[in-house]
Structures are given as C-alpha cells and as structure tokens.
Amino acid sequence: MKMRLWAVLLLCLGLVARADDLDSILQKQEVVIGVKDASPPFGVYDKAKGTVSGYDIDFALGIAKRLGVKPVFRTVNPDDRVPFLQERKVDLVIATFTKSPERERLLEFSLGYFVTGQKFLVAAGKYQRVEELNRARIGVVNASTSEKTLRKQMPEAQVMPNEDYPEMVRMLQAGQLDAISTDEPILAGLLGKMSNRSKFEIMSTAITFESYGVGMRKGEKKLLKAVNDALLDMENTGEAKRIFDRWFGPNSSMPMMRFFTIRN
C-alpha cells in the first residue's frame, strides 16, 4: 500500500513539474510580457498615463484579451529577451524580437506579426549607396540581429554596439557616428523625435528583411498554438491592420505600406 501511495505521489509531482506555461497563465489569470519602453513606435513609456504604448503593446493586449487573462508588462532590453524567458521572469516577449535560426534553437517563436528591413539613418545627402558605409562608424544595439548582420555583410565597417538609442542619436548628431542601423520603423521613430530631423535621412536600401515574432520558452507548444491562434484572429478580424494603420498608416508620424499579412 505504501509503495502504491509513493507511486501516486511521484506521478502527481511529475505532472506538476511538467505543467505547461499556458496552464500556468490561465491558472494565475495573468500573462507577464516583456516589452520595450524606449523604442518608438513599438513600445514607449507614456509618463502622463504611467504605462507603455505602441505597436507591440497593442498586439500584447490583443493576445492577452484572447487568452482571457490580464497582461502585466515588464520592461526588457535587447540583451534581456532570451535570458528573461529562460529564467522565467516573463512568459512572453513582444519587443521587436526578430526571428532567426539561432534564436529558434533556444526559443519558440510565433507567426510573424511585423515584417521590416534593416536600413541606415545618416546625415542627409552624405551617402548615396550602402557600399559607401563599408568603412563607416555604425551604431547598433548590442547583441541584436542588426549587429550580427552588419558584422557579416560589412566586415570592414566600424560596428559600435550600444544599449541606448538616445545615446546613439546623440553620437550621430555630434559626428561621433556616421550611421545608426536597425529596422526601418525604429529608425523612423528616432528620426521623428530629432529636433534637427531635416539634417538626417533614412537610406532607401535595406540590407535584410526580417520578421518580428512573439518569443516564448522552448517546448511550449500549447502556448505557441494559443498565441498563433490569437494572431490569426487579429488578422482575420481586421484588428491587426487597424493596429498597423494606427502606428504606420497615412495619418501617422511615420507612414509605411503594409506589404505583409499574418498567416501560417
């Protein structure tokens, strides 16, 4: 009898240990989401409201609504995104998180909810072709896919990693950088906030095209399906397009064309 009780106890403990993230999220009725708070228009801290807002935030809210749980936002830096998931500090990361083979070996990624290209913010009229930046001083976010791409495609460039976009903008304006390189909408957000924006421009040529996905822990297939179902529903109901138009439509501060849809 004692052996049977121990067997049942061990089985129960094993089931508890294997409880998946979706069940935990539904049980606690909240999902902790890692977001950016200084990356317009994807995630920006609003002092007046005391919260974050942006394209990523709207998708986070839409996913949480469809899961039927309360969203709890936690600020992440680019370096935090993978470790915060692995250390269970957040359940999801929705923070301009580019899908890549390297990252997909470590994490699960949802369907892409935004597609963009890596470009360059430079002094207006200074450069005509990307090749002219081969020996330039280029600021990028440390440990980002943008940094990896630059080091691979432009090995002679002086790649200068930094954690802080405002600091990179200051360096560009002071002539300490020749360019800042990241995804086009982030560059557009930085340019839009520059007081002397007429002196700078985003080069037209993209060196890559990338897809942003929602990151979660490896092996969480039930949560992955739930997030993908939420994203597909947002696309099918028109909510995804409305979010895009809110932040990138013709009446926004950085109009862009939506050339993608969320799909399997």
Tens digits of per-residue pLDDT, 197-212? 999 999 989 999 889 9
Residue at token pair 């009446």: 251
Contact between 156 and 134 under an 8 Å Cβ cutoff? The reply is yes
| Widest pairwise Cα distance in the chain | 83
* Stretches in the chain below the pLDDT threshold 50: 1, 7, 10, 15-16
Residue 104 token pair? 């997909």
So what's the pLDDT on residue 15? 45
**Which domains, from first to last, does the chain contain?**
20-113+213-248 (3.40.190.10), 118-209 (3.40.190.10)
Rounded to 5, what percent of the chain is helix, strand, coil? 40, 25, 35
163 Cβ contact list (under 8 Å, min separation 6): 77, 78, 79, 141, 142
Contact between 32 and 90 under an 8 Å Cβ cutoff? The reply is yes
So what's the pLDDT on residue 98? 92
What is the Cα–Cα distance from 127 to 80, expressed in whole angstroms?
Answer: 34
